[in-house]
């Protein structure tokens, strides 16, 4: 491993050059740590602020006119998204806490190393400065040493030469110094030894720094040891040296003190021979030179040690700086990972929420919950007073009025549009319009062109040749517009409620029975409605036949076109949620041949083995939660939930049920009161007679159009004297439109008592009479044919299906094709009469 102390030494001219490089790099590293510290501090602040903002977002209250009143899935998803902001804010707050833990080590690193490095660098700089001065001084001392040695050698040779020539005696002068006497040479030698051997130092004082000072105590101890003087003699000798000017006190005072520091002032006695003086000066120069070398070397070694220590410590600091830098960034990365993990969890949860959101489905839900209806503003139709207009309108004219004025059962517009669609079917594919099924499902986009075509069709200007040149989508749009603007839907609104009851159950187990009933009900429609529906159904059936029966496009097709075919006469919030137009449309698409073919027989299922009626089996049992919501004291009725399933019970008396409508069909017969006992003794009762399965008082229009009241059986038969009153549910037309059948004319006044009554909804459970004389017998055959008869030659028989009657001298039988097999059930249980609650399949003793 490479180390700083091996590769960052300087040059001979500047041994601290490497230290300067390292110090600059270290200063840069310190600055980087400071930048990282500032960055992390700001990042922590940002995360805290972001966390606070996210938390505030999660606490925002929805606007009262926005999500505050929206209960859709969209509002729930938005609420979840806002709540997730709190979770995301928590993630960012945790990240801020993690970043905060990274700040303290960085700050501690800066505090520990910034000042220490500066101190060590300053120490090296001052040492190098001292060494530089010492090296310069050493050079002067070397030169001085050499000069004085040379001069001493010269004077020594001169002295020896003169002495040999003249043989001069030595002249030693004695001087007194304290208690001792010395020759000049001996005293000068003592001074030289004292200068060499007494330890000197630099002393700082108020007047500055004094170099080469020695303490009084060191000088005293030296004399006592070297000259064997006592303390008093040594002090006396040093005091005389002060007085003679050989040493001086660096402070104040001229008295010797052991606590004071002194410097050498005179280095010798000047009156000694020249050769001795020069020699002594040379020795003194040697001493100074040697001393300077030692001091310089000591400083050099100290500088080298300081540099080594600095480089070694700086390598540790730099390593630690790299480590803490890495740890800090790793900690920041981990904090960001925690944010990413939290954000990923939030995103995954939001993704789950969003995957449940289907814009198309939400639109459907919004339409289902908030729709106001599909009723268009009725078009203004021109009616000529004299009836001889050469240009009668087409749009907005009822099928019956059109047939009466034009003599056509199917409007020419419908035929021309369907023919044009079939003729241009191949061309539509070539023009890139897509399959015809998709065109029927698409909304009308080009409204101006559609309205222009409507005008042409309404004025009889659009020929088949002209229609063939138009886009198929435009022709389909015009046909759909025509159907929706009909004042009465293609499928007559008179059978809207019967069809509703026919499709109460969603099960397909009794599909053949449903198709049979549907065929019977559609057969009651006026010819223009029946023929137009058959033509449209045939076209759509051929179109759908190309698809798989399970293809979702079939359901979409029925959903989109159901209300074009069947609409109620009066639109209410209840009818908005009716599903039977769609279900009937789907039956038309898939079973057109069975419904409109009179030659094809229908296979009916076998009766159930458990004794229940087909209607009882066909409708599901009540759930516990549903039974709790039913008023046990109410009269017989049907309750419709969101899924259009029928729920209800049978309770209350016959009279109570009759009073709820105010209208009745009176069955008249001889000794009718006696028939009740006969039927009761036989244990016979009529059950499961529902409003949707039976038609009374002329819902069926025959050729004479003598029965147009539109009333349906909606209550329970009750006995009044010799009359059996069958309460009726009446439509909302004026009472003048209601014409009772010939059978009920004895009670015709009852039809005008409550002209605004709401049509009844519920079960009809007729009860038998009390007499044994004559029987009112209603029978059902295996093939689903209902027969009503009387056993008396003079009695009256009423067909509960059509409201017509027959009086004959013998047993007269009337057969009607309008009833489905599960509509009636004859219960014979000995002498007990039973009523069947067809909604839940329970049997209650009467």
The answer to whether residues 59 and 107 touch, using CB atoms and an 8 Å cutoff, is no
SS3 state of residue 833: coil
Report pLDDT digits (tens) over 179-228: 888 887 788 888 888 888 888 888 887 777 888 888 999 999 998 898 88
Note the residue count of the chain: 846
Q: Does residue 368 have a pLDDT over 50?
A: yes
Report residue 610 as tokens.
Answer: 């458990």
Q: Which pLDDT score, from 0 to 100, does residue 548 have?
A: 87
Phi, psi dihedrals of residue 310, rounded to the nearest 5°: -65, -45
Which residues touch 394 (CB under 8 Å, ≥6 apart)?
402, 411, 413, 457, 458, 460, 482
CA distance 245 to 268: 10
CA-atom Rg of the chain in angstroms = 63
SS3 state of residue 132: helix
Q: Does residue 300 have a pLDDT over 50?
A: yes
Q: Does residue 576 have a pLDDT over 90?
A: no
Q: Which residue has the tokens 């009723």?
A: 375
Q: Which pLDDT score, from 0 to 100, does residue 506 have?
A: 63
Q: Which pLDDT score, from 0 to 100, does residue 203 have?
A: 86
* Cross-strand partners of 779: 787
Full-prediction pTM beyond 0.75?
no
| Of 289 and 662, the one with more pLDDT | 289
The answer to whether residues 651 and 658 touch, using CB atoms and an 8 Å cutoff, is no
Least confident of 261-265, 597-601, 696-700, 723-727: 696-700
Alpha helices by DSSP H, 635-756: 654-659, 672-681
CA distance 693 to 646: 14
Report residue 447 as tokens.
Answer: 């409204």
The answer to whether residues 453 and 395 touch, using CB atoms and an 8 Å cutoff, is no
- Which of the listed ranges 540-549, 772-781, 819-828 does the model predict with the highest average pLDDT? 540-549
The answer to whether residues 396 and 485 touch, using CB atoms and an 8 Å cutoff, is yes
SS3 state of residue 202: strand
* Cross-strand partners of 827: 685
Q: Which pLDDT score, from 0 to 100, does residue 228 have?
A: 87
Least confident of 155-164, 349-358, 592-601, 822-831: 822-831
CA distance 376 to 152: 140
Q: Which residue has the tokens 């995957």?
A: 355
Q: What is the Cβ-side half-sphere exposure of residue 113, based on CA atoms within 13 angstroms?
A: 24
- Which of the listed ranges 38-52, 451-465, 595-609, 637-651 does the model predict with the highest average pLDDT? 38-52
Report pLDDT digits (tens) over 26-85: 889 899 999 999 999 999 999 999 999 999 998 889 888 888 888 888 888 888 988 899
Mean pLDDT of the chain: 71
pLDDT band at 730 (very low <50, low <70, confident <90, very high): very low
Report pLDDT digits (tens) over 774-823: 333 433 333 333 343 333 333 333 333 333 333 333 333 333 333 332 33
DSSP, residue by residue, 602-658: -PPPPPPTTS--HHHHHSPPPPHHHHHTS-TTSPS--EE-TT--EE----S-HHHHH
Domains along the sequence of the chain with CATH: 174-272 (1.10.10.10), 391-487 (1.10.555.10), 492-605 (1.10.555.10), 646-845 (no CATH)
* Cross-strand partners of 132: none
pLDDT band at 729 (very low <50, low <70, confident <90, very high): very low
For the segment 240-266, the average pLDDT, to the nearest whole number, is 84
Q: Which residue has the tokens 């004297």?
A: 721
* Cross-strand partners of 213: 201
CA distance 480 to 478: 5
Helix H or strand E segment including 836: strand 834-837
Q: Which residue has the tokens 């051929």?
A: 542
For the segment 522-549, the average pLDDT, to the nearest whole number, is 92
pLDDT band at 737 (very low <50, low <70, confident <90, very high): very low
Burial class (CB in 10 A: 0-12, 13-18, 19+), 544: buried
Q: Which pLDDT score, from 0 to 100, does residue 430 have?
A: 63
Q: Which pLDDT score, from 0 to 100, does residue 170 have?
A: 54
For the segment 248-274, the average pLDDT, to the nearest whole number, is 80
The answer to whether residues 694 and 842 touch, using CB atoms and an 8 Å cutoff, is no
């Amino acid at each position: 491993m490479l180390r700083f102390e091996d590769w960052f030494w300087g040059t001979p001219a500047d041994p601290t050059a490497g230290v300067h490089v390292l110090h600059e790099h270290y200063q840069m590293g310190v600055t980087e740590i400071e930048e990282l510290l500032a960055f992390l501090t700001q990042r922590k602040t940002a995360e805290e602020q972001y966390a606070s903002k996210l938390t505030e977002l999660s606490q925002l209250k929805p606007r009262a006119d926005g999500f505050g009143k929206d209960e859709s899935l969209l509002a729930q998803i938005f609420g979840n998204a806002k709540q997730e902001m709190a979770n995301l804010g928590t993630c960012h707050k945790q990240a801020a806490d993690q970043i905060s833990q990274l700040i303290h080590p960085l700050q501690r690193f800066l505090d520990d190393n910034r000042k220490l490095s500066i101190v060590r660098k300053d120490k090296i700089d001052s040492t190098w400065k001292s060494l530089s001065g010492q090296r310069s001084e050493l050079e002067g001392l070397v030169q001085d040493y050499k000069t004085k040695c040379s001069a001493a050698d010269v004077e020594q040779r001169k002295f020896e030469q003169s002495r040999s020539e003249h043989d001069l005696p030595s002249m030693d002068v004695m001087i007194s110094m304290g208690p001792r006497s010395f020759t000049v040479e001996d005293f000068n030698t003592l001074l030289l030894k004292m200068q060499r051997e007494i330890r000197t130092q630099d002393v700082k004082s108020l007047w500055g720094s004094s170099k080469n000072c020695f303490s009084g105590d060191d000088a005293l101890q030296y004399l006592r040891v070297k000259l064997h003087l006592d303390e008093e003699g040594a002090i006396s000798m040093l005091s005389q040296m002060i007085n003679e000017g050989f040493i001086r006190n660096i402070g104040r005072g001229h008295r010797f003190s052991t606590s004071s520091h002194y410097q050498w002032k005179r280095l010798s006695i000047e009156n000694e021979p020249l050769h001795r003086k020069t020699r002594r000066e040379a020795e003194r120069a040697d001493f100074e030179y040697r001393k300077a070398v030692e001091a310089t070397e000591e400083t050099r070694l100290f500088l080298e040690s300081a540099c080594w220590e600095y480089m070694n410590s700086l390598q540790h600091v730099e390593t630690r700086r790299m480590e803490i830098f890495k740890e800090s960034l790793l900690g920041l990365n981990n904090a960001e990972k925690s944010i990413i993990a939290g954000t990923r969890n939030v995103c995954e949860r939001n993704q789950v929420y969003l995957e449940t959101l289907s814009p198309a489905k939400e639109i459907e839900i919004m339409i289902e919950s908030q729709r106001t209806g599909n009723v268009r503003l009725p078009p203004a139709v021109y009616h000529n007073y004299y009836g001889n207009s050469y240009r009668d309108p087409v749009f907005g004219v009822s099928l019956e009025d059109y047939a009466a004025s034009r003599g056509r059962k199917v409007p020419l517009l419908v035929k021309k549009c369907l023919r044009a669609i079939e003729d241009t079917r191949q061309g539509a594919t070539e023009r890139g319009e897509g399959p015809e099924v998709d065109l029927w499902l698409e909304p009308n986009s080009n409204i101006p062109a559609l309205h222009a075509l409507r005008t042409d069709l309404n004025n009889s200007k659009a020929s088949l040749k002209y229609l063939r040149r138009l886009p198929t989508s435009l022709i389909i749009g015009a046909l759909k517009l025509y159907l929706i603007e009909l004042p009465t839907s293609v499928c007559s609104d008179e059978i809207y409620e019967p069809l509703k009851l026919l499709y109460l159950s969603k099960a397909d187990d009794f599909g053949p029975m449903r198709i049979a009933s549907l065929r019977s009900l559609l057969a009651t429609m006026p010819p223009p409605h029946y023929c137009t529906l058959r033509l449209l159904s045939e076209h759509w059936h051929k179109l759908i036949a190309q698809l798989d029966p399970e293809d979702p496009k079939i359901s979409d097709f029925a959903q989109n076109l159901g209300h074009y075919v069947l609409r109620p006469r009066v639109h209410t919030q209840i009818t908005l949620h009716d599903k039977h137009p769609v279900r009937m449309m789907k039956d038309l698409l898939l079973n057109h041949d069975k419904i409109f073919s009179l030659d094809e027989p229908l296979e009916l299922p076998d009766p159930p083995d458990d004794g229940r009626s087909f209607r009882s089996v066909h409708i599901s049992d009540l759930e516990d939660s549903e039974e709790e919501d039913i008023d046990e004291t109410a009269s017989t009725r049907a309750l419709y939930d969101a899924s259009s399933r029928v729920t209800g019970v049978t309770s209350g008396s016959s009279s109570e049920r009759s009073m709820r409508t105010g209208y009745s069909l009176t069955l008249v017969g001889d000794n009718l009161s006696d028939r009740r006992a006969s039927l009761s003794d036989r244990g016979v009762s009529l059950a499961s007679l529902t409003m949707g399965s039976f038609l009374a008082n002329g819902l069926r229009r025959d050729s004479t159009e003598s029965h147009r009241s539109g009333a349906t059986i909606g209550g329970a038969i009750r006995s009044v004297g010799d009359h059996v009153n069958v309460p009726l549910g009446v439509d909302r037309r004026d009472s003048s439109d209601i014409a009772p059948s010939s059978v009920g004319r004895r009670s015709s006044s009852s039809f005008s008592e409550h002209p605004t009554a709401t049509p009844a909804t519920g079960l009809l459970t007729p009860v038998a009479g009390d007499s044994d004389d004559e029987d009112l017998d209603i029978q059902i055959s295996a093939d689903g044919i209902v027969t009503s008869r009387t056993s008396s030659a003079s009695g009256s028989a009423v067909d509960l299906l059509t409201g017509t009657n027959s009086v004959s001298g013998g047993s007269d039988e009337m057969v009607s094709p309008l009833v489905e097999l599960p509509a009636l059930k004859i219960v014979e249980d000995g002498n007990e009469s039973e009523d069947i609650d067809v909604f839940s399949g329970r049997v209650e003793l009467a």
